[in-house]
Amino acid sequence: MAERTGLADFNEVYNSVIKNFEWGYVNDPDDPGGETIDGISRRAHPDWNVWEMIDRLKKEGSDVELKIRSIPNFEEVKKNLYQEKYWKEIYGSLLTKAVGKELFEQSIHMGVVTAVKYFQSSINLLNRNQKLYPDIIEDGVMGDKTYEAYKSCLGYNSENILLNLMNGHQISHYINWMKNTKQREKFIGVFGRVTIKWA
């Protein structure tokens, strides 16, 4: 069985994921996430107080990408949102480094509920028809039962196999997302978020 990584650290995962995948200001009408700053979309977090600052910058005709970073405490406020709305929701600090990073990245881009559903499905697919451990409900909520099933899953399977299934769900999600709306084919960069590893 492949060696597992240690427990995930929020700061380490945050710095890696945000800088590699979620950096910048985007406001593309073809993107279902809508207006987004460093991976945080207005549609998903309409009440985030930073949007008021961004709206003010847009009215002034300022370069949002440039000016937003000069706003006091912006980085701290952004990091806090990611920790509270994503990391804690997925039990990030209880997962291995690799799984925690993957689930965090997927949660940001596909939403916590969708990412956790795929995570739960991956765990269920690896229990050999419940011979190894019981199925869990695929409800998109990371609760104690999902966490216990995750631990059981890694007791019988390599971390890489679980990661491959999670990434398989992710790439299938993107393929269907593009097929359903042709304008989205311009977002081929999403496929760069998916990595398949040898088990």
Strand segments (E) across 27-184:
36-37, 40-41
**Residue 186 domain flag:** yes
**Residue 2 domain flag:** no
Q: If you compute the radius of gyration of the chain from its CA atoms, what whole number of angstroms results?
A: 18
**Residue 86 domain flag:** yes
In tens, the pLDDT along 32-56 reads 778 989 989 999 999 999 999 899 8
Match 């549609």 to its residue by tokens: 43
Angle 158-161-162 from CA coordinates, rounded to 5°: 95
Mean local confidence (pLDDT), 84-113: 96
In tens, the pLDDT along 120-135 reads 999 999 999 999 999 9
**Residue 198 domain flag:** no
Report the alpha-carbon distance of residue 193 to residue 79 in Å, rounded: 21
The reported pTM is: 0.89
- Report the CATH number that the domain containing residue 130 is assigned in CATH: 1.20.141.10
In tens, the pLDDT along 14-30 reads 999 887 766 778 887 77
- Tally of structural domains, the chain: 1
Give residue 20's domain range.
10-193
